[in-house]
């Protein structure tokens, strides 16, 4: 899989975002960031960003957070399968430097992939059997 971040790898419409918010199947959380995800029917993951001015005041910080998120996503997309992912910023995310942001995103991708695989395993195992 290439390291591109083309239009195919983005959540573009409000309906795409609504589908993730309403149908979240796995998530990863930290004090400064929340990742929500759901399985899509495509062959690649897609990314959406919600970096609110309320939580990250300066535009330069919001843009830096988004740029690093997209770059990190490009490098870790093979780990993420076919998920639609929305990143939600929390207060204080803009205070991190670039190295801390890269480390945070790397950890969040790993945790999200583990959550998604755990969810997939539980769905594939079927209903619990009763050995009564």
For position 99, what pLDDT does the model report?
95
Per-residue pLDDT tens digits for 11-37 = 999 999 999 999 988 889 999 999 999
Q: Which CA distances in Å does 39 have to 23, 42, 47, 126?
A: 9, 9, 12, 18
Cβ atoms of 86 and 36 within 8 Å: the answer is yes
For position 4, what pLDDT does the model report?
67
Indicate the pTM of the whole model: 0.84
Residue 130 has pLDDT above 70, yes or no: no
Residue 132 has pLDDT above 60, yes or no: no
Per-residue pLDDT tens digits for 61-96 = 999 999 999 999 999 888 888 899 999 999 999 999
101, 56, 114, 75: CA torsion to nearest 10? -50
- In Å, the largest CA–CA distance within the chain is 61
For position 115, what pLDDT does the model report?
86
Output 94 or 118, whichever has higher pLDDT. Answer: 94
CA 16 to chain centre: 13
For position 5, what pLDDT does the model report?
72
Mean residue pLDDT across the chain: 88
Count other C-beta atoms under 10 Å from residue 30's C-beta: 13
């Amino acid at each position: 899989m290439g390291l591109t971040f083309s239009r195919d790898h983005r959540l573009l419409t409000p309906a795409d975002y609504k589908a993730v918010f309403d149908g979240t199947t796995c998530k990863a959380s930290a004090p400064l960031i929340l990742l929500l995800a759901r399985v899509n029917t495509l062959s690649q993951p897609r990314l959406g960003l919600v970096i609110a001015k309320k939580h990250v005041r300066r535009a330069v910080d919001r843009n830096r957070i988004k740029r690093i998120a997209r770059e990190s996503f490009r490098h870790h997309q093979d780990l993420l399968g076919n998920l639609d992912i929305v990143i939600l910023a929390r207060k204080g995310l803009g205070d991190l430097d670039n190295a801390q942001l890269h480390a945070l995103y790397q950890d969040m991708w790993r945790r999200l992939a583990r959550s998604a695989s755990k969810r997939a395993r539980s769905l594939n195992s079927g209903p619990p059997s009763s050995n009564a």
